[in-house]
């Protein structure tokens, strides 16, 4: 069963596109869709086992994928990795800065090390990846697309203040890069996923897991999003159809940030999700019960 993309076959035929954080979740899904559309996808991440598994899935489905083991927080490694990718795979058409991570904590409980670790992962690493594809490839070739994955930080991010600060910084970096690099034919945009039923949900425990199962009732569209719905937004912004779109951020969040606190959301059926990803794996937390967390 192939990926159920809505985009035309061969849209990215012959193009090399890097996806960071490609070993799971939104990155894995996006890599699958890009490969299904003809791209040669470079899967970037720290966990070799996960990347090899995704690579095998893509090859089994008839696509092309290379892997690059990389900690995007280490500058010299980023520089060397982009040099290696350009030498091995040729010009880089696109970069999807998807890698990220955080942990729940109130601001007063976050150490300097914890704060800087999250900021380096969610902001600094993405900046260095973008800078290097620009310096080593995109500027000279006069074309390229960079997509930075941020988050719904519009109403603040209590218990995730380190991530909110980093994501807000990434959004401003996106706007600045679009201005500085646009004259070289390079577009830079962001995609802000809301509450997406992805593997990242299973990294949390305790009260956070219970909260996750209540999120849908705070979304006007009455459900959580799916990985394929984020991937579709990324693919559109990478595509030639978005040639005049740069320096902006596309929200994929079911209008959750538009919910005023004094409004009670009536029950309703919402809409059905886009089931494009044929290898989707729903997080375990969504099928558990509160009692399971108490044991």
Dump pLDDT digits (tens) for 126-144: 999 999 999 999 999 999 9
Closest CA to 20 of 124, 174, 103: 124
Domain assignment present for residue 275? The answer is: no
Instruction: Please check whether residue 265 lies inside any domain of the structure.
Output: no
For residue 96, report the phi and psi dihedrals to the nearest 5 degrees. -110, 105
Q: Which pLDDT score is estimated for 213? A: 86
Is 68 part of a structural domain of the chain?
yes
Q: How many domains does the chain have?
A: 1
268 located within any domain: no
Model confidence over 235-261: pLDDT tens digits?
999 999 999 999 999 999 999 999 888
259 belongs to a structural domain: no
* Within-domain flag for 218: no
How high is the pLDDT of residue 288?
A: 62
What band does 292 get if pLDDT is binned at 50, 70 and 90? very low
Handedness of CA 109, 114, 116, 119 (dihedral sign): negative
The CATH number linked to 157 is 3.40.50.720
Nearest by Cα to 39 from 92, 98, 97, 99: 92
Torsion angle of C-alpha atoms 98, 101, 107, 109, degrees rounded to 10: -170
Which 8-state DSSP code applies to residue 196? B
**Among 196, 198, 202, which Cα is nearest to 215's?**
196
What would the pLDDT profile of 148-190 be if each residue is shown by its tens digit?
999 988 888 888 899 999 999 999 999 999 999 999 999 999 9
Reference 272, options 198, 227, 222; nearest CA is 222
Q: How far apart are CA 72 and CA 78, in angstroms?
A: 6
Domain assignment present for residue 196? The answer is: yes
- The model's pLDDT over 11-23, given as tens digits with 9 standing for 90+, comes to 999 999 999 999 9
**Number of helical (H) and strand (E) elements in the chain, helices listed first:** 10, 7
Reference 183, options 144, 148, 137; nearest CA is 144
Residue 267 inside a domain? The answer is no
- Give the structural domain span for 149: 16-201+224-254
């Amino acid at each position: 069963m192939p990926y159920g993309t809505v985009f035309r076959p061969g849209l990215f035929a012959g193009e090399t596109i890097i996806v960071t954080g490609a070993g799971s979740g939104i990155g894995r899904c996006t890599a699958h869709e890009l490969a299904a559309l003809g791209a040669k996808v470079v899967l970037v991440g720290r966990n070799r086992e996960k990347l090899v598994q995704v690579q095998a899935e893509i090859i089994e489905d008839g696509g092309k994928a290379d892997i690059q083991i990389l900690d995007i927080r280490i500058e010299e490694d980023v520089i060397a990795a982009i040099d290696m990718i350009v030498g091995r795979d040729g010009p880089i058409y696109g970069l999807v800065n998807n890698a990220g991570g955080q942990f729940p904590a109130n601001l007063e409980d976050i150490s300097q090390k914890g704060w800087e670790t999250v900021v380096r992962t969610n902001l600094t690493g993405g900046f260095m990846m973008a800078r290097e594809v620009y310096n080593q490839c995109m500027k000279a070739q006069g074309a390229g697309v960079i997509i930075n994955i941020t988050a719904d930080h519009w109403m603040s991010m209590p218990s995730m203040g380190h991530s909110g600060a980093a994501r807000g910084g990434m959004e401003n970096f996106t706007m600045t890069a679009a201005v500085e690099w646009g004259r070289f034919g390079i577009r830079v945009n962001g995609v802000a996923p809301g509450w997406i039923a992805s593997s990242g949900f299973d990294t949390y425990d305790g009260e956070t897991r219970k909260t996750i199962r209540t999120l849908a009732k705070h979304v006007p569209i009455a459900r959580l999003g799916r990985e394929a719905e984020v991937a579709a937004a990324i693919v559109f912004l990478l595509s030639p159809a978005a040639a005049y779109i740069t320096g902006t951020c596309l929200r994929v969040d079911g209008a959750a940030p538009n919910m005023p606190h004094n409004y009670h959301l009536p029950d309703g059926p919402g809409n059905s999700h886009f089931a494009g990803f044929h290898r989707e794996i729903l997080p375990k937390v969504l099928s558990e019960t509160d009692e399971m967390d108490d044991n």
